[in-house]
Chains A and B, each alone.
Chain A
């Protein structure tokens, strides 16, 4: 970890400016991801802008019948919120499937969306990694890739977005609200929020430098059965090999977003239209462009089988 200077942001606008004006500055919220990466010299900011004092920790209803979730609402509080539990069960379940109680107490809504990949090579500064050090190469291709992406990846990077919450957000059509360093406001549909790596895997999202997340908005509830199925090697405290977030309506139609297989929550609207036809058709369409490695080929099967289990559960 490098030595760093530290300031408490006085306002959202000031926070955005402070980070935009210093290429070595970063926001810090719960710190559960950023500090770990700093200790390993993966992230090396020399200035931290602490945003914890900015409020933004409320969950309010919107005039459209949805919810506005403050960027600093802790994962624990979000999962426990009565309205979330009643109308957006998928989100509560995805949150509770992630990390541990202690981490969720600290982790924030914005920080969770921005958590970085768990590709093991990304964590080791001795190893080439295009995401950490653009142009150095990708160690995971031809290396250990059991956890990594089967779809949406590129020749430069096959990392996944490792989180759970974003999978639910994607299925629920959330919108990420931000303030840019020039003070303007922006609303980014979650579908466009995480980038595919292409040849610039260093950028996980479309956020500009200094662009600050203020809240995440959920549209009005859509009913249906909310299921989050996380598949992992141990029963708790592990990242998903595959996770399926779904909202299934009584007529068998619904939405499905998949985690653990791509650089962003993987949802293909044309594929989920096939849900009434069953898991095989849905998974085939979802993974039409899949390019698995030898080590993660099993995920192709696993996605289909897990969607199958989710459909069965929704019927039951």
Chain B
């Protein structure tokens, strides 16, 4: 099915099941420990072996030689496969740095060997016995230094944009700011580390993994191994978090496959926690310069945003200016992104890539402008609203209700109680409130699904879509149930298997809208098949209460299925509605913080997010996405930073004691409000993404609240106490 015209009324609009607060259908499996994660697959008939990775001890250079003799002799060891053994491999399409193979070391903890043994403990012990002789080379690890030699990347990455005369308008503006902001490298730090089991049967490979994108992984694994994609069967039915860190094939799957081939045994490989920071990808640090000019009434006349980030050779920008191209009005504009070469681990997508770090900077800048103008920051945003793409005014937004979010939020949060900076106090706490706009584009990707109606009246959905903890199982069941006139108890959902139709996968907040649209398309096919089988005119058929009805004839679905059952399969393809219209999601974050007047410790008191993101498919799972994202934003604002050792070229705090994500005590109270809306331009579901929107802007709202509490403006994340302490009132 191709979605190329705005949606009209369709069965989803009934909202009998879709949109209802249904608890996750896989919840019981998870809470009872029966949901099998990658490393946990256990077939009693299989003699699993265990692989433990060895990571490079240097950041850049070559391996002269490796001595694996001691490791090979260690108790229980079955094999040691080294990067020199497998030699240079073709790299997967989605990988910037190679995962394994060849003598070059491109970053710290890049996989250089896997030691396979009868037990995990034996493999781990033997891994320490691998001796490596390196020819170390000098690398570049400091973004601040490297930005001087940063270059404009190829046009495909859309580095520059502009409109009008930015320089002239900025110089002429009555009120302006010109500030530089920095965001640090961040780690996905998901609970479940990357893990895979690989088993060969002749030239066929079966892999259980933890992957957000089944088809991407399968293709890139085939490329890296040099085998035919069709020979690989990849499964990833449950995933313990990804946040973008599992979008692209990672070393665990590659090492497991080589190890299994060498030992002729199924092999399990999980990346140890320190590898998550330095072996896998991370969100790259940025340096951002923002210039805004406005007239006295607060109308933006010039807005400019430049961003520098770094990556491995051949890598990509962190597109931190994305939202600035779209979020606020202003006749004169410029954005530019430059890319430096760094020899740190590969930078890549992490939840809301681009917008998350971009809004961390932009939404402080907006707060600074409002402060300078003497305007309420909510009002300043309202004054600069736009209903069209400000760089290409001929493109309207499909639907944009940022104003509704801001106004509703201000009202519900008690925004009018915000005082002047440094004015509110509660005992030892300086109290402040902050606001930021949330903005994230609504992407869609082709997504396929197969639905079977069984003779028992149960509809089974098969798609390679993944559920990374987001609730995909549930919203897909709701979609199929709505389409077929059933309750979710009559729908079975099978996900994350390369034997199923290729879906959008989970990423870029495109998963929910795209994959349910694919299921919608498949269900339309199935409805036609049912109608045809019963000799009904498919136009006036009603699917309701487990029955299919036309005129005064009504047949139970089970009966319609017949003994063989019926199948519908289709892929949702997308027309150009996202070219003719700008499709985005919007929100407003409000935060109240307390800052300890003596120590500068910032603690969140309450948070509110108001989201306008099209139809909300399930308010429970959507809320869960948003509060999780708000929590991630709290980490980004207050504590998360991969500390770069710029001499040795690696992230030093490579464990969860050193890389501090928020704990429960950091998040006392969260509230989420969804605007009641639909967006017929986005899909037949009239839904959009919400999982990344929830993160966008949160950190800036917190930084702005800290400013309101203390009067201290911190432009360098995370906003830790050492950056505040010099400006706090005297307490001695």
* Interface residues of A, Cβ cutoff 8 Å to B: 1-3, 39-41, 118, 120-121, 123-127, 139, 142-144, 146, 229, 231-239, 241-242, 278-280, 298, 301-302, 304-306, 308-309, 312
Contacts and interface: CB of A to CB of B under 8 A. Distances in A.
Contact of A235 (B655, B657, B663, B728): B663
A2 B125 contact: yes
B666 A235 contact: yes
Given A1-B124, A236-B663, A302-B600, 6 more contacts: A2-B128, A143-B652, A146-B722, A231-B601, A237-B665, A305-B731
Given A144-B645, A239-B657, A309 B725 contact: no
Interface string B620-657: 00000000000000000011000101011000111101
B725 A305 contact: yes
B598 interface: yes
Given A3-B121, A120-B643, A232 B652 contact: no
A232 B648 CA distance: 27
Contacts of B728: 305
B643 A234 contact: no
B660 interface: yes
5 contacts: A125-B128, A139-B645, A239-B657, A301-B726, A302-B721
Contacts of A278: 732
A174 to B, nearest CB: 26
B532 interface: no
Interface in B104-141: 121-122, 124-125, 128
Interface string B694-727: 0000000000000000000000001011100110
A269 to B, nearest CB: 21
Nearest to A281: B732
Interface in B40-73: 57-58
B75 A121 contact: no
A42 to B, nearest CB: 11
A230 to B, nearest CB: 10
A120 B658 contact: yes
Contact of B598 (A3, A280, A309): A309
Interface of B: 57-58, 75, 121-122, 124-125, 128, 274, 428, 596, 598-601, 603, 638-639, 643, 645, 647-648, 652-655, 657-658, 660, 662-666, 718, 720-722, 725-726, 728, 731-732
A178 B643 CA distance: 40
Nearest 4 A/B pairs, CB to CB: A298-B722, A309-B598, A235-B665, A126-B57
Contacts of A235: 603, 663, 665-666
Contact of B648 (A1, A139, A229, A234): A139
Contacts of B662: 234
A233 B638 contact: yes
B652 A234 contact: no
Given A234-B662, A234-B663, A309 B599 contact: yes
Contacts of A126: 57-58
Nearest to B75: A3
Nearest to B76: A3
Contacts of A124: 274, 652, 654
B725 A298 contact: yes
A271 B665 CA distance: 34
Contact of A308 (B124, B274, B598, B600): B598
Contacts of A41: 128
Given A41-B128, A126-B57, A143-B645, A231 B657 contact: no
A239 B653 CA distance: 13
A41 B52 CA distance: 14
For the residues of A in contact with B, the DSSP-based class is loop
B645 A302 contact: no
A145 B603 CA distance: 24
A123 B657 CA distance: 11
A302 B663 contact: no
Contacts of A121: 652
B598 A237 contact: no
A235 to B, nearest CB: 4
B661 to A, nearest CB: 8
Given A234-B638, A305-B598, A305-B731, A1 B603 contact: no
Contacts of A304: 732
B643 A146 contact: yes
B12 to A, nearest CB: 42
A123 B600 CA distance: 29
A2 B720 CA distance: 38
A118 B731 contact: no
Nearest to A39: B124
A306 B598 contact: yes
A2 B123 CA distance: 10
A304 B652 CA distance: 29
A233 B645 CA distance: 20
Contact of B720 (A127, A233, A301): A233
Nearest to A231: B599
A142 B652 CA distance: 13
Contacts of A306: 598-599
A127 B647 CA distance: 12
A307 to B, nearest CB: 8
Contacts of B598: 305-306, 308-309, 312
Contact of B663 (A142, A237, A239, A305): A237
A243 B140 CA distance: 37
B665 A309 contact: no
A144 B721 contact: no
Given A142-B647, A309-B598, A309-B599, A234 B721 contact: no
Nearest to A299: B722
A120 B121 contact: no
A177 B732 CA distance: 39
Q: Which of A231, A233, A304 has the most CB of B within 10 A?
A: A233
B358 to A, nearest CB: 24
B652 A144 contact: yes
Nearest to B724: A298
Contact of A305 (B274, B599, B647, B718): B599
Contacts of A312: 598, 731
A241 B721 contact: yes
Given A233-B720, A236-B663, A305-B598, A143 B125 contact: no
A195 B620 CA distance: 55
Nearest to A3: B125
A8 B678 CA distance: 67
A235 B124 CA distance: 34
B653 A120 contact: yes
